[in-house]
Structure 1
């Protein structure tokens, strides 16, 4: 069956250049800079006070991240002509990319903790990165699948790719997709500490003396071209394809050869059924830093040879909007196609482009672009390219958007709490021993249990010179991958370089963020540790693991609370199935330093003893954990003689608009995810041999899942409840459940993973382990 072409029918944009699409495009196309003096916070200790700052007033009672996103989404919906009251809201997905999320609020919470010893747990919980998607779903009453991507400055370009995967498989009817990031002290001090900020407004691809930070949001309404035609919507452009790659080179600098960036562009064009000669315009990553502005032209020459299309960096007008940049620049690229103008690069300072690129200087250029490539690159060597084309534009080759391969699991490993590797984990489960044996004091609460991983012990196999640069989250991830290779064998160098990595986490690198920001709060710019800052981005762990194992393939990072494992497995399987990767290492990790424990333990539902009984109202126990699951095509596994532990059969995801930090008690939305996974797998409820339960001992969650299982026809199916012994690891919970099931905790046959995330999102997966 031919997969749908993806139409962009609505755009929303708010940046320093203007507070809506028309105002922003007017400034951008005319080369009028939106970079101005930053008044959001004190910049006296920073390298610059210039920023692409939004000037439209934002509500003071709402985090700036949320208000910027809401503004852009309202405009996108309005411009699309889509009336949400006339569609099935269960089939409207939310896919958003962000690097910082509600960081201004988190900074205030942490300021109170550091300076006054006061922790506002409710504000802390409501400002975690996954909450961006939860806020959007609640604000607009959207009940479809929900995911937050966080590949640093490539986040929302990756989000567009995830949205494409949903629409190609027809999981949903519409996707509200985009990116958002606010100006924040964390990033401003971090880039200052790295010496990466230009003292003056940036001069990308010309003087190249540093970047200028910006803020904003760009959102799109995406749907199939046929659906858009049926409802009479005007199609502005099509999302033809996307490509992702990892350099595996350096934690903050791009590969100077440009090979990784070239691979991302080539994959994006191949997916869209296009070739380099079809491209009419390039929206460059173009940050203004010397390293980027030297490597990106090399990538272009590798792909295009001497015939490089006209290009520009709109960051010269908007500043670098970090995780929002990919979506913001996709909106700009769509307008270039629709309006027939190539946006310019401004502030060239009279410096000729040193690599001979046609950077469209100063003013917009009249043109008729039919195919545009938009690039976004990020810390950790993450490369993302998006192809946008004129509606109905035929390709030069077949698109690569259909499933052509079966996908299997060929490796699985995990660690949690006191079980520092898979062998210890399996033994604990077999003996019925809990992995959360540590007791720690929390002010105002008392002694509470927690599952602590001995990170030093777990990471003994890592090269010490590498390990010194890694934060706890990265070390946990690396330990899981190392254990997988110890159990299932290491790949050859060629196999490793052809491997991708999808990293996922519930809440990200909490330790690095808190330590870096504490240094800033206590000592200002002298306390801003650049090594720590490099690890504050959520995808840092993926970068470290890629460097350790020479991964050069597809890469994405998901931060979606408790559904992160299943969503990561889903994405990797979809990419492999359509032939965009042979194998992908899915790695999930979560760490919970004392501040995270204090936040969780002060909320309802936390256990006061190490005895956890799912459905027993004992409360749940937090536990650190990590898992690695190797997925590959059946053909790849057969070619290298790998044993298949299970076959990937189907996925389901859903959401509900209950608000940040909440879940529905009725189980209705959860049941939709369970039914969706079984439907894609072609498996009836009575054929499911085992349900890997998400029950944790917290009655609210356990009751909701019990209702969901009943509604999905699974009430009488055998259950395994790994959280009773592993604890609540959130992001890695689903993958650790799979490790447990594949290691003997469940009999053979079809098994179903069940997962949830606070905020009201759910994901499920069906695997067949054979007889």
Structure 2
């Protein structure tokens, strides 16, 4: 008899939104037919294209920075709802946020929230703009299922700052009226808030007497590889994520009753997304209901996906379907009736899929259901390293670094020579380094991407901040031209996944794509997280995992910039390669335990491993040194022996074990 997967449950929810600072308050407002979109009073919106937003009317109970205190409040509510004691379990944190700057380590947001809530597990920040928190829920499922954590607090948070408001205005996508997804007028209404959910195995929840709200059945990511800010008009990227999420959930399209759409209300997004939905469910007896909660919450950026999912879960439990407010009739290529109304509709559903899309073409979809299903347990696929690279200072590459060459200082890269056919104009240093490392790794792997193969290779990137060059360009445009006339192109680069998005377009990588930050351990962490995704998600054949760091300018003299990439493959290699045999996560300072776990996972191998501490590879190098340590370990493993990389410098500790395949 096949072994069955333990269902993964959501046992607690917390929300801070324009409609209330708790789940109960938000839902009561929704039932009353209230809309969270209202005139902005926190700052002037003169010249910004609209004076409306889904913002909290009163933030007096929240100290700055609001993104942190919003998340703390939502996290406390979720933990209390789940009746879980942070001190009695290893609870991780996966937090999505759009906040990005060259002057602040994005991972510190996760640390601030984790410290306030007393969480003792690994902490990960996902920053793919508006799809961040949807990915966070999926990643939480994976971490719990693999046994890396007892439970995970997952979701997202963002504050609507004047700069973000002005940036979207510069892109020409804000509406002067409350946004009306799939209807008129076109344009979105921005918002803010935080949402967090507790994710754990159903077995553990039952043991401690918790009552599951719903169950996470599957999720998937994809990349449009199309444009920095606009979606693929054919909806192909969203469609790939929808189909892959259903496959991960072992479900047929006909089993889905309702789609909670990204539904921003913009001219470009709505028809592209609806085309993806129609194509995905083509052949099903009927199209599921589709609606957008942004119509009454506003577009809460990094918190959008999770707040909309929480609305969906509450609706599911109450036997109603979330509505689309402000609907005045359908636009061309949009649904005739996206559950139009000012209150939820009295139609129940059992299974749903939620979609999110973002700058850089990063898409995420998650499948949830009301009652648990028992599905056969899938064996994780074996992961091989089939190519690797280092782009370091003084033209140091992988072979020199593996022989012990010192990595220190700035990295110079001639991107026109490194990547033939790429126009270097407008590319920041982070993007150049990442592109060069990706090209070298793909070449080393011998991968040629054509046709359908392009959708089966993705890109995961670990870094601590956006490009300092892009950051300077953005703030210079405000200083020289005013907030209302800032540079829209520069604004689009103020998300952590901007470089990843640019590189997916360069190489037409259409598979799963994301950007994560765990501070100084980001590079090693993204290699392990990428391996985890590839091992359990069958829509990919290979995944490029990379760490990159561009110097800000005020680091110590020994600080290093550079990029390193590895090509992970789930296909047995035809030539000598290296197996990524095991990986483990822990809290900050827990590297020894992570190393012990990956050594004990060696199976029949009894070789004494050679250990490599990522901190010794390159000082002050953000995402670069951890990925470089993994590339070096893989290169050395080709010559024989077992090599273990550890990194405990950031918001999590990680251990990875490399050994020659075969």
TM bucket normalised to smaller:
over 0.9
Partner of 1:504: 462
- Structure 2 unaligned spans of 5+: none
Indicate the residue corresponding to 1:690 in structure 2: 610
The equivalent residue for 2:95 is 96
Structure 2 matches for 1:269-668, cutoff 5 A? 269-305=246-282, 307-350=286-329, 354-362=333-341, 363-393=343-373, 398=375, 402-419=378-395, 422=397, 426-427=399-400, 430=403, 434-436=406-408, 451-455=409-413, 457-462=414-419, 466-494=423-451, 495-525=453-483, 527-578=485-536, 579-594=538-553, 598=554, 600-601=555-556, 621-633=558-570, 636-638=571-573, 641=574, 643-656=575-588, 667=589
RMSD: 2.4
SS class of match (2:357): strand
Q: Give 1:18's aligned residue.
A: 20
Give the C-alpha shift of residue 275 in structure 1. 1.2
User: Residue 755 of structure 1 corresponds to which residue in structure 2?
Assistant: 647
Task: Give me the whole-angstrom Cα distance separating, in 1, the residues matched to 2:369 and 2:231.
Answer: 27
- Structure 1 counterpart of 2:221: 244
Q: Cα 1:487–1:770, aligned 2, differ >3 Å: closer, same or farther?
A: closer
For 2:238 and 2:532, locate their aligned partners in 1 and report how far apart those are by CA, in whole Å.
22
Cα offset, 1:471, TM superposition = 2.4
8 Å Cα contact 2:445-2:567 kept in structure 1: no
The 2-side partners of 1:516 and 1:286 are apart by 28
Distance between the aligned counterparts of 2:560 and 2:641, measured in 1? 29
- CA–CA distance in structure 1, aligned partners of residues 60 and 596 of structure 2: 41
SS at 1:562 equivalent: coil
User: After the TM superposition, which of the residue ranges 222-231 and 504-513 deviates more from structure 2?
Assistant: 504-513
2:596 is aligned, of 675, 690, 706, to: 675
Q: Indicate if the aligned counterparts of 2:577 and 2:638 stay in contact, CA closer than 8 A.
A: no
Change (3 A) 1:637 1:341: same
- The two structures have a TM-score, normalised by structure 1, of 0.81
Question: Is the partner of 1:244 in helix, strand or coil?
Answer: strand
Given the superposition, is the C-alpha separation of residues 592 and 392 from structure 1 closer, same or farther in structure 2, using an over 3 Å criterion?
same
- CA contact 2:153–2:198 (8 Å) conserved in 1: yes
- Aligned-residue offset at 1:429: 6.2
Q: Tell me, what secondary structure is at the counterpart of 1:341?
A: coil
Structure 1 residues 681-712: Cα deviation after superposition (integer angstroms, max 9, x where no partner): 4589x8443111134xxxxxxxxxxxxxxxxx
CA contact (8 A) 1:45 1:524 kept: no
Residue in structure 1 matched with residue 660 of structure 2 by the alignment: 769
C-alpha distance in 1 between matches for 2:29 and 2:601: 46
Match of 1:75 in 2: 77
Assess, with a 3 A threshold, how the Cα gap between structure 1 residues 40 and 752 changes in structure 2: closer, same or farther.
farther
- Measure how far apart 1:559 and its partner are: 1.7
8 Å Cα contact 1:508-1:559 kept in structure 2: no
Between the aligned partners of 2:60 and 2:349, the Cα distance in structure 1 is 35
- Structure 1 residues 680 and 592, CA gap change in structure 2 (3 angstroms): same
Task: Note if contact 2:385-2:579 (Cα within 8 Å) is conserved in structure 1.
Answer: yes
Q: 1:212 to 1:294 in 2, by over 3 A?
A: same
Quote how far apart the aligned CAs of 1:565 are. 1.9
Distance 1:754 1:211 in 2: 44
Moved more, 378-387 or 26-35: 26-35
Q: Once the 2 structures are TM-superposed, how far is the Cα of residue 768 of structure 1 from its aligned partner?
A: 1.0
Aligned residue number for residue 448 of structure 1: none
Name the CA shift for 1:305/1:750 in 2 (closer, same or farther; >3 Å). Answer: same
TM superposition shift of 1:679: 3.5
TM-score by length of 2: 0.93
Matched-pair contact (CA < 8 Å) for 1:142–1:655: no
Output the CA distance in 2 between the equivalents of 1:155 and 1:9: 21
For the 8 Å contact 2:166–2:484, the answer to whether it is kept is no
Choose from 257, 261, 264 the match for 2:241. 264
State the number of aligned residues: 655
Q: How does 1:193-212 map to 2 (within 5 A)?
A: 193-212=170-189
Q: Measured at CA, do residues 350 and 552 of structure 1 come closer, stay the same or move farther in structure 2, by a change above 3 Å?
A: closer
Match of 1:53 among 55, 66, 76: 55
Report the CA distance shift for 1:234/1:15 in structure 2 as closer, same or farther (over 3 A). same
Per the TM alignment, residue 487 of structure 1 is displaced from its structure 2 partner at its CA by 3.4
Could you tell me how far 1:189 is from its partner in structure 2?
Answer: 1.6
459-468 vs 168-177, which deviates more?
Answer: 459-468
- Residue 199 of structure 2: which of 222, 225, 246 is its match? 222
- Is the contact made by 1:14 and 1:218 (CA closer than 8 Å) also made in structure 2? yes
1: CA distance, partners of 2:604 / 2:28: 53
